[in-house]
Structure 1
């Protein structure tokens, strides 16, 4: 096989195969977890499956386009993409365009499409951070030249996301940036300072909103209010406990019968645990580990600093979302309202993750 074919047309199957398997499991899980709800709410048991299936097809189209374009070509789109994301975040608050769900205004409605701009922000910031940190590689330990510009750009987006309100996404983006900048050479003193300064603000935001207090209480003492703030996580525990080693079988979950809220989105892993058991969950974790380890390997082997930071950013972001979602549904972390990549229902999240896979495959093909 020629070098040209290797570098321009090769497919990284350590990335592609786990992605395809996870997507397949996700579609099955979405149908299983949502069919009863969809029939009850929309009189169509396939409602959520059909919508997610269409996003999977669009996602594959997006993946293969991005995979076949060298990532260097996207450098010229870094700032236009940031500008578009900023406008989309502002549009969230415009009456008639922004859509409120569950008390949070995080979506915009454009005709038949409902988009969550904060998901696109994650990808835009990955491009921006890779581009900027590679240009300022010699200054990353500096506060004014290395740290401050990145904090100002990300801070503008995080502020808009925070007032939606979406503290979970804000914390994830902030944590992701700190990890990425630390790897790029950020001064450890600056890192500690950011954590110290941010901690009181996060504490204030949590303790001055009742729903955030309830989420914290659900994490700390769910059994004190099993019909209130502890309801969701308790039913997640029941799902995991009912699954045992091999599960109750696909389609046989009891928690999906309107007992477990968000069973097809944030808590889809709970339904998978009930139906597939410990063996099924171990298999899912293995697939994610393959993806993340391969992503880190691609970052290490990347041909230049920009590609390396981009692969690292995409991989760390995906890994954080997996760890946090799994931690939440198992009661190890407070509820964040975060989907599980490739498995949970949600078009915006799926398309961004598919784009991330395309980026990793593009870098892998040209290393």
Structure 2
């Protein structure tokens, strides 16, 4: 006898932790962006008001997706993936927009759109459907390994062409995590690690990518060139260090006054550390841990393989990207441009991450209850 599919309330811990992160993000975007907003737009609330709009829209989408049966994403997985690939290719059309030496945005006129955020979610959905369809063939060379790595290469390569190495690593890491959970052989995992190291070396040392090598050199000793390549990391460490245990107080950061570039985006965690101290950063880290832990719990208790892979993919994405951002801010890895999920300024990222949470919450509504587990055990 099959276990009964029960619909119940969504995971409360994921829901409340996400809402708290978004709320903290809105407040910290205002605090970190007000000097630049005043200087460039004459309105200290400029970025704050935009973040509120994006947060409200994202939460609305999250609530809608929370109530849509997740099985629909498997049905339309191929179409979703094709759309995200097309969005990624639009970067190389006249709609593509280059900022800060990278072509990563699509100009929609009224706003800009970052296709890599869509590629992340679209790849997770399609890869979950692919792994579920392969079932016991995931470890076979022709039916599993080759097509699995081709899909990873397509998604990762499309993002890499946008000169976005950090997001490429995030996408590859997420999809490899999903493949590992599906049953990737250990020798393939080891080979993948070796291949990743080789590709990373090529990406850093190839002609035209000297700026990446400069970042690695500055990472080794940022204080050796604290007014040059090490500037951003040095200022970030100053911010975190001056925050101490309880911080200097909300809104009282000094580093946000044009010392830290992207203070309200990629390096917002350093402003949080300065204003809210170790207590504040620990609290935020705990919210991420709750979301990631509960997401894997949802995956483990899901009723089908598609839900298992989809939930674990979303959990892996949040874990990898948040870890990379915090590692950069704390000078634990070389600096790279990647934002902090749910907290950093930016509409596209916030909306797609909240959409991911909406899908995850719907999966959590169909997880196995104690009763259904017992029935399954007795069947």
Q: TM-score range by the shorter chain?
A: over 0.9
- List per-residue Cα deviations over 1:126-164 (Å, max 9, x = no partner): 111111111112011112211211221231232221121
| RMSD of aligned alpha carbons | 1.5
2:110 corresponds to: 112
8 Å contact 1:265–1:346 — kept in the other structure? yes
Q: Tell me how far apart the structure 1 counterparts of residues 212 and 315 of structure 2 sit (CA, whole Å).
A: 28
Partners of 2:124 and 2:175 within 8 A in 1: no
Q: How many residues align?
A: 362
Q: Which residue of 187, 190, 198 corresponds with 1:189?
A: 187
> Is 2:90 the counterpart of 1:91?
yes
Q: Any idea what the Cα deviations from partners look like across 1:196-255, whole Å, max 9, x if unmatched?
A: 233222102112312101211221111111111000000000000110000000110000
Which residue of structure 1 lines up, in the alignment, with residue 375 of structure 2?
Answer: none
- Report whether the alignment pairs 1:142 with 2:132: no
* Residue 374 (structure 2) aligns with: none
1:61-210 paired onto structure 2 within 5 Å: 61-95=60-94, 97-208=95-206, 209-210=209-210
Is the CA contact (8 Å cut-off) linking 1:143 and 1:190 kept in structure 2? no
2:349 aligns to what? 349
Separation in structure 1 between the aligned mates of residue 128 and residue 71 of structure 2, nearest angstrom: 11
Q: For residue 316 of structure 1, what is the aligned residue in structure 2?
A: 316
Counterpart in the other structure of 2:26: 27
Partners of 2:121 and 2:352 within 8 A in 1: yes
TM-score, structure 1 length as denominator? 0.96
Question: Bigger shift: 141-150 or 56-65?
Answer: 141-150
CA contact (8 A) 1:92 1:106 kept: yes
CA contact (8 A) 2:128 2:178 kept: no
2:218 aligned partner:
218
Residues 142 and 186 in structure 1, CA contact (< 8 A), matched pair in contact too: no
**Contact 1:241/1:274, CA 8 A, preserved across alignment:** yes
In structure 2, runs of 5+ residues without a counterpart are: 368-379
1:60 lines up with 2:63 in the alignment: no
Q: Are 1:33 and 1:264, in contact at CA under 8 Å, matched by a contact in 2? A: yes
Tell me the CA shift for residue 76 of structure 1.
2.1
Query: Under a length normalisation based on structure 2, what TM-score does the superposition of the two structures give?
Result: 0.93
Report the secondary structure of 1:107's partner residue.
Answer: strand
**In 1, distance between residues paired with 2:142 and 2:188?**
11
Counterparts of 2:366 and 2:203, CA distance in 1:
44
Residue aligned with 1:105, SS: strand
Distance 1:351 1:187 in 2: 35
Matched-pair contact (CA < 8 Å) for 1:222–1:234: yes
Q: Report SS of the residue matched to 1:108.
A: strand
Q: Does the Cα contact within 8 Å between 2:132 and 2:306 map onto a contact in 1? A: yes
